[in-house]
Chain A
Amino acid sequence: MKLFNQANFAFIEKRRRAYIFSAALILVGLAAMIFNVFSLGRWQNYGVDFTGGSLIQVEFHQPTTAAELRAALGGAQAPPITRFGEDNEFTIRAPLENDDVETIRARFENQLAAAFESDVFTIVRTETVGPKIGAELERNALLAILFSFFVTMIYIAMRFEFRFGLAAVIATAHDILITLGFLAMFRVEIALPTVAAILTIVGYSLNDTIVVFDRVRENLNAKGGRRQDPLELVNHSINATLPRTVLTSGTTLAVLLALLFVGGAVIRDFTLVLILGVAIGTYSSIFVASPALLEIQKRFGDGSASRERRKKRGVPATA
């Protein structure tokens, strides 16, 4: 079996459509973030990891609805209650107060005990995060993403040429922006693992882009490569790596889908972000990274001019 054997899709010609598509996705995401700022007070639905506060997960051993639980915890004044995966599991989020988790939990336990039989429910998880930790987490996540951009840009600039590094980072930033837009739109709760998932997307997206770029590099360095029409060369490279792109995304997605459907609730959001990231990362390695490479070349040249200059001056050619 061979997929896309001798494929010759005109990916690069369709880049304008891809730009519009990407721009639309990004704009919708940004709109969702702005909407969240006004309706939620924050651009994303941050979980207690970021906002600080307490989270308590209760498991009921009998059919229980969120409404019953809400009634038990004070009706309209009840803290936010979310069903968590299984039918009878719920998380209760309490905002940060001066009380420690013990006090909050004791209060919930008393309220639950008053409304339900004591052997019907078990508290299976509690989390309390101070405000300082949450702020640090946000800063660290941002730093990690920026830092990884910086390091990979340097690495790719060294191994390829500078424009490749820039294009790869643009594509990856595009993926992260769209993913964050989706998260904002569906108000997926941002927890600690979500940050890990986003960083993984950085890795995956780069991975995918580099495979295409590797082929571009190879074709460029082949005899007559630099004289070839860059557009055609890049397009050819994308098509040549297409079977691999599809197959790798396919196996990765297959594994992630298994994780999504049977992996359990704790890991669900994490998996969802990864699936989203793999899909967008695959799209961007074809429709964003390579066109970006061409656009950079169109505006700033392919570096050959400066290479020539350096040669004349006797400076070794670097990226």
Chain B
Amino acid sequence: MHEHMPIDKALMILALSAYVVSALALIVYFFARDAWLRNLGVPLAIAGCIAQFAQLAARYELTHVWPLLNLYGSLSLFSALAVAIYIGFAFRYRLWFIGGFVIAMAALFLAYGVTWDEGTMPAVPSLQSYWAKIHVPLVVSSYAAFMVAFIVSALYLMKYYYENALEPAAEYAVEGGSLRAQRASVRLDTPNIAAAAAAGNPVAQWINAMPTLAQLDVLIYRIVAVGLPLLTLGVITGAMWAHDAWGAYWQWDPKETAALVSWIVYAVYMHLHTRNAWRGLRSAWVSVIGFLTIMFCYFGVNIWISGLHSYKV
């Protein structure tokens, strides 16, 4: 007897397949800048994202259990939101070039999430709350925003260090010859990369096609500006839920404190960004560290450290 695949499984496979093809197309677009690759990759990313939201809705409809209460469900939402945030920023700020990296990471997280799928289980008493429908999406969406910020930060750092690694270009030479020597981490031009690109260096050509360091810095700031208020609201709603469920809005549970660490790191980012000398390179590093703390908070605490938030399956 042939068994039909459940609709949620079919949608998950559809989403993963769309992401894989989209990521490949957009990564090649990053290097080749052929518009057709973007025109292929972006609709596929949108299709994958829609399929994922539909998958979550179908899972809820089939099981009547809120699908975000375990690592499988929350990772599914995480990757869908990362793609959604990317698409939003891409349309607003022409961020197509990072799409391949965002969607590849989203696909990896989604695939990892699938490995945690243990089937449907009823929610434990502490998770049977309307707060689950508010707190979890807020926190996960902040994680997704920070992932996009992390990718832009990584590209910023790549461009910055590549500029420093190149020989100073004679026709663009300025005093000091490199960004570090000029003590300016935010600037509009990367003369060494531009010169190398003009001379036919293929790596320099695709790095040069990225936005300027200053534009990347502003992009990171704008994405963190989405993530930090969401994380703050997520922590606040989590505290309100904890107040109902566990008797105290703050219990110093490992998940709470790890989220606090992430919040502090992004608060440091905000503070550093108020100073010209610390914008750019240093704040990009803080964004990278911030995302590492987010990953620790998300996976480290859920998987390795036991506490009130140990909801793996």
Say whether A associates with B: no
A interface residue numbers (CB < 8 A to B): none
